[in-house]
Chains A and B, each alone.
Chain A
Amino acid sequence: MSTPGGIVYLLDDEPELVKALTRLLRGKHFDVRGFTSVRAFLEAFSPQDTACLVLDVTMPELNGLELQRQLTHQGILIPIIFLTGNGDVPMSVRAIKAGATDFLIKPVDAAVLVPAVRAALQTAETQRQTIAETAALAARFATLTPREREVMAHVVAGKLNKQIAADLGTGEQNIKLHRAHVMQKMRVVSLADLVRVAERLDIRK
Chain B
Amino acid sequence: MRDGVARRRMSWVTIIWSMSAAVSLTLGAIHFVVWLQDRKAWANLWFALLAASVAGFAGFELAVLQAQTAAQYATLHQWGHVPLFFTFVSLIGFIMFYFRSGRAWLAWTVIGLRLVVLLINFTFGPTFNFRAVTGILPFQFLGETVAVPVVVPSPWARLGEGSALLLLVFVLDASIRLWRRGDANERRRALVVGGGIALFISLSVVNGLLIHSGTVHAPHFVSLFFVLIVVAMGYELSRDVIHAGRMAEELRENAEGMSLAAGAAQLALWRWDIARDVIWVSPNGRQLYGIPPGEVISLQRFLDTLHPDDREPARQAVMRSLEGDGAFHSEYRVVLPDGAVRWIGARGKVEFNGQREPLCLRGVSGDITERKRIESEVAEQLRFEILLADLSARFVNVPAEQLDDQIEEAQRLVCECLHVDLASLFQWSVEDPSFTRTHFWRLSEGPPLPMKIDAGEHLPWARQQLQAGKTVVFSSLDELPPEAARDKEHFRYLGIKSGVGIPLSAGGAPLVGGLTFNAIREERVWPEEIVKRLRLVAEVFANALARKRSEQEAAQHRAELAHLTRVNTLSELSGSLAHELNQPLGIILSNAQAAQDIVAQMPEGAAELGEILADIVAADRRAGEVIQRLRTLLKRGESEMLPLSLNGVIEEVLHLAHADLIGRGVTVVRALAPDLPQATGDEVQLQQVVLNLVLNAADAMSANPPDARRIHIATTRDEGVVRASIRDEGGGLPADPEKLFEPFYTTKPHGLGMGLAICRSIITAHAGRLWAEPHPDHGAVFHFELPIAGPTEKL
Let me know if A24 and B579 touch, CB within 8 A. Answer: no
Known: A27-B597, A106-B582, A107-B582. A88 touches B590 (CB 8 A): no
> 0/1 per residue, A10-27, Cβ < 8 Å to B?
000010110011011011
**Residue among A20, A21, A28, A85 making CB contact with B582, cutoff 8 Å:** A85
B477 at the binding interface (Cβ < 8 Å): no
Is the C-beta of B588 less than 8 angstroms from some C-beta in chain A? yes
Partner of A109, one of B582, B587, B621: B621
Whether A110 lies near B590 (C-beta < 8 A) is: yes
- CB pair A24 B586 closer than 8 Å: no
For window 560-604 of B, CB contacts with A under 8 Å fall at: 575-576, 578-580, 582-591, 593-598
Are A85 and B579 in touch, CB under 8 angstroms? yes
Q: How large is the interface on A (under 10, 10 to 19, 20 to 34, 35 or more residues)?
A: 20 to 34
Residue of A58, A105, A107 ringed by the most chain B CB atoms within 10 A? A107
- A89 and B590 contacting across the interface, CB-CB below 8 Å: no
Contact of A24 (CB < 8 Å), options: B576, B583, B584, B591: B591
B638 within 8 A of A: yes
Query: Are B583 and A23 interface neighbours, CB within 8 A?
Result: no
Q: Is the CB of A110 within 8 A of B579?
A: no
Q: A23-B594, A27-B594 are in contact. Are A107 and B589 (CB under 8 A)?
A: yes
- Bound-state CA distance A14–B588 (Å) is 13
A21 touching B635, Cβ below 8 Å: no
Question: Given the interface contacts A14-B587, A20-B587, does A58 sit within 8 Å of B628 by beta carbon?
Answer: no
Contact at A24–B593, with CB atoms within 8 Å?
yes
Q: Are A16 and B587 in contact (CB under 8 A)?
A: yes
Given contacts A24-B591, A109-B621, contact A85 B586 (CB under 8 A): yes
Report B-chain residues with C-beta under 8 Å of the C-beta of A16. Answer: 584, 587
Residues from chain A with a CB closer than 8 A to the CB of B576 are 86
Q: Is B785 an interface residue (CB 8 A)?
A: no
A139 an interface residue at 8 Å Cβ cutoff?
Answer: no
Asked whether, in the complex, the Cβ of A85 is within 8 Å of the Cβ of B578, the reply is yes
Which B610-641 residues have C-beta < 8 A from chain A? Answer: 620-621, 624, 628, 631, 635, 638
Contact, CB under 8 Å: A17 / B587? yes
* Identity of the chain B residue whose Cβ is nearest the Cβ of A114 in the assembled complex: B593
Is B635 a contact of A88 with CB atoms below 8 Å? yes
User: Quick one: given A20-B587, A24-B590, A106-B585, are A58 and B597 in contact (CB under 8 Å)?
Assistant: no
Given A86-B578, A88-B635, A108 and B594 touching (CB < 8 A)? Answer: no
**Chain A 26-43 against B: per-residue CB contact (8 Å), 1 yes, 0 no?**
111000000000000000
CA distance A21 to B620 in the complex (A): 15
CB nearest to A16 among chain B residues: B587
Give the shortest distance, in Å, between A17 (CB) and chain B (any CB).
Answer: 5
Q: A23 and B590: CB pair below 8 A?
A: yes
Shortest distance between the CB of A19 and any CB in chain B (Å): 8
Residue numbers in B under 8 Å from A83 (CB-CB): 586
Contact assessment for A110 and B628 in the assembled complex, using a CB-CB cutoff below 8 Å = no
Q: Of all chain B residues, which has the CB nearest A23?
A: B594
| B638 close to A88 (CB less than 8 A) | yes
- Report the Cα distance A85→B627, complex, angstroms: 10
Q: Determine the chain B residues whose CB is within 8 A of the CB of A27 once the complex forms.
A: 593-594, 597-598
Residues of B within 8 A of A108 (CB): 586, 589-590
Please give me the residue from chain A that is nearest to B576 by CB atom: A86
- Give the A-B pair count, Cβ closer than 8 A: 77
Residues of B within 8 A of A86 (CB): 575-576, 578-579, 582, 631
Q: How far is the CA of A168 from the CA of B578 in the complex (A)?
A: 70
Point out the residues of chain B lying under 8 angstroms from A24, CB to CB.
Answer: 590-591, 593-594, 597
Query: In whole angstroms, how far apart are the Cα atoms of A28 and B407 in the complex?
Result: 81
CB distance from A25 to the nearest CB of B (A): 8
Residues of A within 8 A of B591 (CB): 20, 23-24
B594 CB to nearest chain A CB (Å): 4
Q: Which of A131-184 contact B (CB under 8 A)?
A: none
In the assembled complex, the CB of B424 is this many whole angstroms from the nearest CB of chain A, namely 60
Q: Is the CB of A21 within 8 A of B590?
A: yes
Cβ–Cβ contact B620 & A107, under 8 A: yes
B580, B586, B591, B594 interface centre (most CB from chain A within 10 Å):
B586
Contact across chains for B597 and A17 when beta carbons are under 8 A apart: no
In the complex, what residue of chain B is closest to A14 when comparing beta carbons? B583
In the complex, the answer to whether A106 meets B586 with C-beta atoms within 8 Å is yes
A105 contacts B628, C-beta separation under 8 Å:
yes
Please judge, given known A-B contacts A20-B591, A23-B590, whether A106 and B598 are in contact too, CB under 8 Å: no
Chain A residues whose C-beta falls within 8 Å of the C-beta of B595 in the assembled complex: 23
| Assembled-state Cα–Cα distance A193/B390 (Å) | 111
Does B583 lie within 8 Å of A17, measured CB to CB?
yes
Q: Which chain A positions have C-beta within 8 A of B631? A: 86
User: CB < 8 Å: which of B580, B586, B596, B598 contacts A107?
Assistant: B586
Mask, A50-72, CB within 8 Å of B = 1, is: 00000000100000000000000
Complex Cα spacing A89 to B638, Å = 9
How many Å lie between the Cα of A26 and that of B624 in the bound state? 24
CA A109 to CA B620, docked complex, whole Å: 10
Please indicate which of the listed interface residues B583, B635, B638 has the most CB atoms of chain A within 10 Å of its own CB: B583
Q: How far is the CA of A58 from the CA of B583 in the complex (A)?
A: 11
How far in angstroms is the closest Cβ of chain B from A118?
Answer: 15
Beta-carbon nearest neighbor of B591 in chain A? A20
A140 smallest CB distance to B (angstroms): 46
In the complex, what distance in Å separates the CA atom of A109 from the CA atom of B582? Answer: 12
Q: CB-CB < 8 A to A105: which residues of B? A: 582, 628
Min C-beta distance of B768 to chain A, whole Å:
24
* Nearest B residue to A104, CB-CB: B586
CB distance from A104 to the nearest CB of B (A): 10
Residues on the B chain within 8 Å of A26, using CB: 594
Interface membership of chain B positions 628-662, coded 1 if the CB is closer than 8 angstroms to chain A and 0 otherwise:
10010001001000000000000000000000000
A109 touches B589 (CB 8 A): yes
Residues of B within 8 A of A85 (CB): 578-580, 582-583, 586
Min Cβ gap A112→B in Å is 10
Instruction: Name B311-334 residues within 8 Å CB distance of A.
Output: none
Contacts of B589 in A (CB 8 A): 20, 107-110
**Alpha-carbon separation in the docked complex, A113 to B624 (Å):** 15
Please state if B583 and A20 are interface contacts (CB–CB under 8 Å). no
**Residues of B contacting A28 in the complex (Cβ-Cβ under 8 angstroms):** 597
Interface string of A65-104 (1 = CB under 8 A from B): 0000000000000000001011011000000000000000
Q: Is the CB of A20 within 8 A of B579?
A: no
Contact partner, B579, options A21, A58, A109, A113, Cβ 8 Å: A58
Residues of chain B within 8 A (CB-CB) of A109 are 589, 593, 621
Bound together, the chains give a CA A89 to CA B682 distance in angstroms of 15
| Chain B 430-468: CB-based contact to A (< 8 A → 1; otherwise 0) | 000000000000000000000000000000000000000
Q: Are B638 and A110 in contact (CB under 8 A)?
A: no
| CB < 8 Å neighbour of B594 from A20, A58, A88, A106 | A20
User: With the chains together, A105 CA to B620 CA distance in Å?
Assistant: 14
- B-side contacts of A107, CB under 8 Å: 582, 585-590, 620-621, 624
| Closest-CB distance, A93 to chain B (whole angstroms) | 12
| Nearest CB in chain B: distance from A59 CB, A | 13
- Contact across chains for B583 and A106 when beta carbons are under 8 A apart: yes
Shortest C-beta distance, B794 to chain A (Å), equals 25
In the complex, chain A residues whose CB is within 8 Å of the CB of B596: 110
Task: Give the shortest distance, in Å, between A114 (CB) and chain B (any CB).
Answer: 9
* Residue in B closest to A111 when the chains form the complex, CB atoms: B593
Contacts of B594 in A (CB 8 A): 20, 23-24, 26-27, 110
* B575 contact set on A, CB distance < 8 A: 86
Contacts of B579 in A (CB 8 A): 58, 85-86
The contact sample of 11 A-B pairs, CB cut-off 8 A, is A16-B584, A20-B589, A24-B591, A26-B594, A86-B631, A105-B628, A107-B585, A107-B586, A107-B589, A107-B624, A109-B593
Q: Which residues of A contact B (CB under 8 A)?
A: 14, 16-17, 20-21, 23-24, 26-28, 58, 83, 85-86, 88-89, 105-110, 113
Closest 10 CB pairs of A and B: A27-B597, A107-B586, A20-B590, A23-B594, A110-B593, A24-B594, A85-B582, A85-B579, A107-B585, A106-B586
With contacts A21-B590, A27-B598, A85-B583 known, what are 5 further pairs, Cβ within 8 A?
Answer: A23-B591, A27-B593, A85-B586, A86-B631, A109-B589
